[in-house]
A and B are shown apart, each in its own frame.
Chain A
Amino acid sequence: MYAIVVATNIGIFVLLALSLNIIAGYAGQSSIGHAAFFGIGAYTSAVLTSTLGVNFWLSLPIAFVVTGLIGALLGLASMRVKEDFLAITTIGINFVVVAIFQYAPIFGASLGMSVSKPSLFGIKMDNLMFLILVGALIVAMIIFMRIIEKSWFGLALASIRNDEAAASSLGVNIVKFKVLAFAVGTAVAGLAGGVYAHYMTFIYSSDFAFLVSISILSMVVIGGIGTIRGPIVGAIILGIAPELFRFISDYRMIVYGGLLVLMMLFQPQGIVGNGSFLVNKFEALFGKGRKKSVVS
C-alpha cells in the first residue's frame, strides 16, 4: 500500500517533469512557473467533478484542453518577452495563479478544496487503480515524446532552442511552434493536475506554489534536460529521496540544496543526460552506436 502510494506520487511528478521538458528542454524556453498549470488543471477538474458533477473521466480531457489553452497564451506572451524576462514572467504567473486559488471562493479560498474520489465503471478508484492510471499516462507520454523527437515538430523546436533568430531566418514558423510547445507542455501538466486532485481528495493553493515549480525544474535538470529518460530519472530520485532518507530528514533540505549545487558543478547535463558520466560509461559498456538524439 505504502509502495503503491509513493509510486503514484512519484508518477504524477514524472508526468510533470516530462511535460516541462517539452517547454524547457525541447523548446529551450525558460518556464519556471510550471506548477501554475499543474494547479490550473487540478482546480479545473476539481470544480468540474465536485461542484458541477461532471464525470471524472470527462473532466480530465477538459482540464487538459483548458490548461493547454491558457498555456498557449503564455506561449504567445513568450514571443514578446524573452529569456530572463520570460523566466520572471512565468514566476509571476505562478504567483498570480496561486493567489487566485487562495482568494477565489469557487476554489474554496483559504480552506482549500475537497475533491470527491472518482469511480471507474461504478467501482470507487483505489490507490492501485490510480497507480495504473498514472502508469498508463506515463507510457502514453513517453510514446508521444518519442514521436515528437522524430517529427518535424521536434526538429523545429530544436532549431528554435539552438538559435531562434537563425531558425526564423530559415523560415521556421517560430510563433506556431513555440505556442504549440507551451500548449502541449502545459496541457499535460494540467492533466497530471486533474489526476492529482482526485487522488489527494484535497487540494490547496500552496500545493502549486513556486517552490513546487522549482522541484519540477530540478527533476528535469538533475535527470537530464532534453531527454526522455532524464525527467523520469530525476522525478524518481527526487521523489523517492524523502522516503529513503527519513532517518536524516532533519537535514533533508541542506542535502537537497547541496545536491543541486553539486549536480550543476559536476554534471549539469544531468545524471542520465546526453554526455553525462553514467551515460558515457553505459554506452562504452554496450558498444558503439552512440546516437545523437535530435534534441540533444
Chain B
Amino acid sequence: MARLQQIDHIFRKDVISLLLQQIINGFMIGCVYALTAMGGTLIYGILRILDIANAAAYVVGAYLGWVIYATTGNLAVAFFLSMALTGAIGVLIQKFIYMPILNKPNIIPIVPLITSVGIFIFTGDFIRLLVGPEIKDFGVVLPFSVINLGKIVINPEWILIIIMTVILLSLLWFVLNKTKLGLAWRATAGDSEIAETMGVNIQKVMALSYVMGYGFASAAGMMIGVLYSSIYPTMGDIPSYKMLAIIVLGGLGNPIGTIAAGLVIGLSETLISAYVGSVIPRDAIAFLVLITILLVKPTGLISRKNSI
C-alpha cells in the first residue's frame, strides 16, 4: 500500500513540475507577445488607428539589432540603439504619412489600416531585396546559462526576455506616470479634445507614441530574433495580426490590458498545445480566445476607462 502511495506521490510531483514548466513556457511567450503588442497599444491610445506597420518596426528592429550586434558585439547597445533608430523612423512615418492622412476630412477607418498594411508589405519585401530571403543566424553570447530548478528548465534567452521586459515596462511606467510628457499622453489618450484645449502639445504626444510604440516593437523583434537565433524578412507576418488580437483583447489602448491579454494568449496557446495537442493551429487559438471573450465582453478584457 505504501509502495503504491509512493508511486502516486512521485507521479503527481512530475505532473506538477511539468505543468509548472509549461506555465513558465507560456508566461515567457506571453511576455514577448505583450511587449510586441505594447507598441500598437501606445499608438492606438492616441491616434485610434490599428497600426499593422508596427509589425514592420518589429522586423526592422530585429535586423537593425542584428547588424549593430555584429558590428559592436554589445547586446545592450544593439537593443537600445535599434530601439532609438526604429523609434526615429516611426516619428518620420507618423509625420509624413499618418498625419497627412488623418488630417484629411471624412476618411473612413479603413484608410489608415490600408496605409499601415502598405507600409508593412513594403518594408518586408524591402528587407528581402536588401538582405535576402534566407533565415539569418542571430546567435548571441549571453552572460548567463541555463537555469535548472529541479526538473524545470529556464533557458538563458528567457532570462534575457524577463530582464528586458522588466526594464522596458518600468521605463514605460516611468515615462507615462512620472514625466510631464507622459501625463500629456495619458490625458490625450483619455480625451484628446479636452487635452488639447488644456494646452497639451498633441504633436509631441503623438511623436512620443510613435517613438515608444515602434521602439517597443523593435525591442520585441530583436528579442524574438535572439530567442530563436534567427531573423527572416517574413518574421513579422504572424505578429502583425496576432498583436491586433492582443491589443483588442486588452481593451484597445490600455497598456495594462495589453500585458494581461498577452499573458492570457501566451498561456492559452502553450497549455492547449501541450495538453490538448494539435487539434487546431496555434494562430487560430489566439483568435478563438479573442472571439469568445469579445462575445462575452465586447470591449475587451479591461475596458478603456482604466489607465495605468
Contact = CB atoms under 8 A, between A and B. Distances in A.
A250 B248 contact: no
Nearest to B93: A261
A174 interface: no
B225 to A, nearest CB: 22
Contact of B252 (A84, A218, A221, A258): A84
Interface in A215-272: 217-218, 221, 225, 250-251, 253-254, 256-261, 263-265, 268
Interface string A74-113: 0001001111110111011101101100110000000000
B73 interface: no
Interface residues of B, number: 46
Interface residues of A, number: 43
Contacts of A92: 245, 287-288, 290-291
Given A254-B125, A265-B100, A221 B118 contact: no
Interface string B88-119: 00000000010011001001111111110111
A32 B126 CA distance: 25
Contacts of A221: 110-111, 114
Contact of A80 (B44, B111, B295): B295
Interface string B188-208: 000000000000000000000
Given A99-B283, A261-B115, A254 B109 contact: no
Given A30-B109, A99-B280, A88 B121 contact: no
Contacts, number: 127
Interface string B15-44: 000000000000000000000000000001
B294 interface: yes
A95 B282 CA distance: 10
Contacts of A256: 118, 121
Of the listed residues B121, B284, B298, the one surrounded by the most CB atoms of chain A closer than 10 A to its CB is B121
B114 A102 contact: no
A215 to B, nearest CB: 10
B255 interface: no
Contacts of B118: 256-261, 264
A96 B109 contact: no
A80 B300 CA distance: 12
A83 B253 CA distance: 14
B268 interface: no
B50 interface: yes
Contacts of A93: 287, 291
For the complex of A and B, the 4 pairs showing the least CB-CB separation, nearest first, are A260-B118, A257-B122, A92-B287, A257-B121
9 contacts: A32-B113, A81-B295, A82-B298, A85-B298, A88-B244, A89-B290, A91-B245, A95-B287, A218-B117
